[in-house]
Amino acid sequence: MSEQDARFWDKAARKYAASPIADEAGFERTLARTRAFIPSGARALELGCGTGTAALRLADAAVSYLATDISARMIAIAQEKLAKARENGPNGRLSFRQATASTLVRENARYDVVIGFNYLHLAGNPAVVLNDIRTLLAPGGIFISKTPCVGEMNVLIRLVIPLMHLVGKAPSSVTSFSAASLDEAISTAGFAVLENERHGSKKRDIRPFIVARAL
């Protein structure tokens, strides 16, 4: 991701925060399955957390949960939501900060679980990002991903994405891959894929839910 992408997501933050979840049933299924793979006492990291919707629901499953995003405005909204949630009871396990996988790698931080929802297709070169995620994980740590496979979208949508970027309607970093090539990339990066599921309850689901263990 670049500074240009950060500016794009900063500009989109309020509209993004106000958008309803498109598939509530699929989202609930993903949250439940994610919880099943967070070990007791885990240190969890979420990359590309947006405005914190998933983090606020999952943080109590871990001993600590750091949710990060490239966009400062996304993080500001997430912190607003966390402050409101704490009015009904403190949640000291969860914190939000502006960061990327590459910046965290330079801090030598290590986590038991790394989560990336709607993330890998927007994060830049998948091989580089997956290598950073592998570095961020403690030995045997778990990576959980659910992200659109742009390569399985309608060809017209794929063709229009660069045009949308030119007029400021899409970020510059949008990577097109298929479910099969994503699975292969995760394995090549040093993971054993444990689960590959589809949770969508509407139409064709192009967002595989993948759980992988760092080797």
Amino acid at site 166: L
Q: Extract the tokens encoding 204.
A: 């064709």
User: For the chain, which residues make up each domain, given as ranges?
Assistant: 3-214
Q: Three-state SS for 64?
A: strand
Whole-number pLDDT of residue 83: 92
List CB contacts of 196: < 8 A, sequence separation 6 or more: 179, 183, 208, 209, 210
Vertex 122 angle, CA 17 and 66, to 5°: 60
CATH class of the 3-214 domain in this structure: alpha beta
Q: pLDDT, tens digit, for every residue of 124-162? A: 999 999 999 999 999 999 999 999 998 887 766 655 655
Residue ranges of the chain with per-residue pLDDT less than 70: 1, 88-91, 155-170
Contact 46, 55 (CB under 8 A): yes
pTM for the model: 0.93
